[in-house]
Chains A and B, each alone.
Chain A
């Protein structure tokens, strides 16, 4: 990882700084953009001054987090809206626990444990948000 992508994020920051400068200096009314102009210019100057690029992540860690991050992205950007909050939460929680639990997948006990953890967590979340805090969530797709 260190050899492959040392300039990836710093380059993205420089590119974002250029876009911020462009957006800040080309919009109207110009009075509303004085502060963003000052800040984006500083951002660009500092991004150009930033020479120290050391990526502190091992390939092993990166590969380990990818599937979990994938589940989180699917959960937030698709499943919540499509399945509903509680169904998608239960699915995401169960998937994450199953994916990262080092216990063998061939043993019934480990599956029971995963289902129990998921069930307890979703019940707690439901009690806190739906019952105590009375936060409205869109209706669930299946029930």
Chain B
């Protein structure tokens, strides 16, 4: 119950104000199609530089929580999921909206998000310290394998092509070696003076996640909006509350599936929502009504995608393996504030980590309250033309990258990486493994070099890195993630 001791830290004026601001902005950004939660968090990191770690991380956590829920607004009212996690919500949500039940659908979505989100964060609170204790046994070889496991899992499970996923991870790991080597004092791959300090994580994160979306929005810039504006009628909040309490089966199905999926690194909210929707339909006696505007479809999908948020941070906070691309960006945010996730974090940085986690618990409640009352106004902002959104994101990306070190070189690197990533994405590569390679690269290399030194002084490289229960567990997990993804691809091809 250590978390209760730090609950008061969330209620300081700067922390609580930023929690409110983050939740509101997150709902708006989440509702805007084309602006993903990952990009929202990446763009917000520079704003947290001037802040103390606690309020800074609270802002990022609030954005993560509410962008996922905010996506339900456009999914229901416009039939456009605000984020991939909300795809399953459109299946019944928009049909309900077309039947003049838009308010009811939104209320059910936010109540379901609240329950799913609270369960997910409570799971995070009660399991993370125990897992962190277990992870304290990790030495350099285990830390090395954990970093490689993180890149491998995101590269394989979260990608359409295993080779492309792993390739992107390798590129990220290699890019992370650019700059001054801390251990041997060597300068590595400094082809231009701009690279002498290496590639800073934040401009890279902004470039890799925001610029491809800017270019995509520009590519669709001339297209006229064909979105149908649906008028919504009032609906009693208490009625929605009773309705959700009467549909506990789909609520618990979504919550449990979302939490379980969140624990698997690299899988993400899109899978959580779709799997939960499918299972809720299988378990429901009214399965024929799914897809025709059935409330259980919304409840399952929204409880799942929000239940995923908390557990996706469990591997991040205990082992430094992000459970989703957004968690990978949060890892960057933690590192920027001098907090290295891992086993020792709950002892060395308890005063920062617990308020951050507690704020996510409170953030779920705020997200539900704001969502219930302001969703209908947010939908007006969603109609912002794509080219205006693209231009605004571009400018935020430029200023955000510059703000990191007051260097124009960071802005150049941001645009170059982002433009390159856009074209890589067109060929099926994704940014998440590349970013993870970039973030985990220094951890992997540091552990690798330290492990090599220990190995040479003790039993040798092969016994040090390839024997022992923990090392073998990690290696088996790496092989299993590649084999499982390959098996899935083969099954898909033969079907």
Contact = CB atoms under 8 A, between A and B. Distances in A.
A133 to B, nearest CB: 5
B455 to A, nearest CB: 12
Contact of A29 (B161, B173, B186, B426): B186
Contacts of A3: none
A85 to B, nearest CB: 8
B427 A54 contact: yes
B189 A23 contact: yes
A52 B161 contact: yes
Interface string B125-167: 0000000000000000000000000000000000001011011
Given A69-B419, A73-B415, A100-B222, A125 B395 contact: yes
B215 interface: yes
A56 B166 contact: no
A40 B174 contact: yes
A49 B163 contact: yes
Contacts of B248: none
Contact of B388 (A50, A85, A97): A97
B167 A43 contact: yes
Given A35-B177, A65-B215, A80-B408, A129 B428 contact: no
Contact of A56 (B186, B390, B427): B427
Interface in A43-102: 43, 46-47, 49-50, 52-57, 61-62, 64-65, 68-69, 72-73, 75-77, 80-81, 85, 89, 92-93, 96-97, 99-102
B399 interface: yes
B164 to A, nearest CB: 6
Contacts, number: 165
A36 B177 contact: yes
Interface in A95-140: 96-97, 99-102, 117, 121, 125, 128-129, 133-137
B50 A134 contact: yes
Interface in B403-430: 403, 406, 408, 411-412, 415, 419, 423-424, 426-428
Contact of A47 (B167, B224, B385): B167
Given A52-B161, A65-B219, A135-B402, A10 B427 contact: yes
A61 B402 CA distance: 29
B391 A69 contact: no
B214 interface: yes
B387 A69 contact: no
B220 A64 contact: yes
Contacts of B218: 64-65, 68-69, 96, 100
A68 B215 contact: yes
Interface stretch (B228-236, B256-264, B289-297, B445-453): B445-453
A33 interface: yes
A55 B214 contact: no
A96 B217 CA distance: 12
Interface string B180-220: 01011110110000000000000000000000001110111
Interface string B38-65: 0000000001011000000000000000
Contacts of B185: 32
14 contacts: A9-B424, A10-B427, A27-B186, A35-B177, A36-B177, A40-B174, A52-B163, A64-B221, A64-B222, A76-B398, A85-B402, A89-B398, A121-B395, A125-B399
A22 B148 CA distance: 23
A34 to B, nearest CB: 7
A42 interface: yes
Contacts of A39: 170, 173-174, 177
A135 B399 contact: yes
Nearest first, the 9 closest Cβ-Cβ pairs linking A and B are A100-B387, A100-B221, A68-B218, A32-B186, A32-B184, A61-B219, A65-B219, A43-B170, A46-B167
A45 to B, nearest CB: 9
A13 interface: yes
Contact of A97 (B50, B216, B387, B403): B387
B415 A72 contact: yes
A1 to B, nearest CB: 9
Contacts of A64: 218-222
Contacts of A93: 391-392, 395
Given A32-B184, A129-B399, A56 B220 contact: no
Contacts of B214: 72
Given A46-B166, A72-B394, A102-B224, A137 B174 contact: no
A77 B50 CA distance: 27
Contacts of A97: 387-388, 391
Given A10-B427, A52-B164, A96-B390, A135 B403 contact: yes
Given A28-B186, A121-B392, A125-B396, 15 more contacts: A27-B188, A27-B189, A32-B183, A35-B445, A35-B449, A52-B163, A52-B164, A53-B427, A68-B215, A72-B394, A77-B412, A89-B395, A97-B387, A100-B390, A102-B222
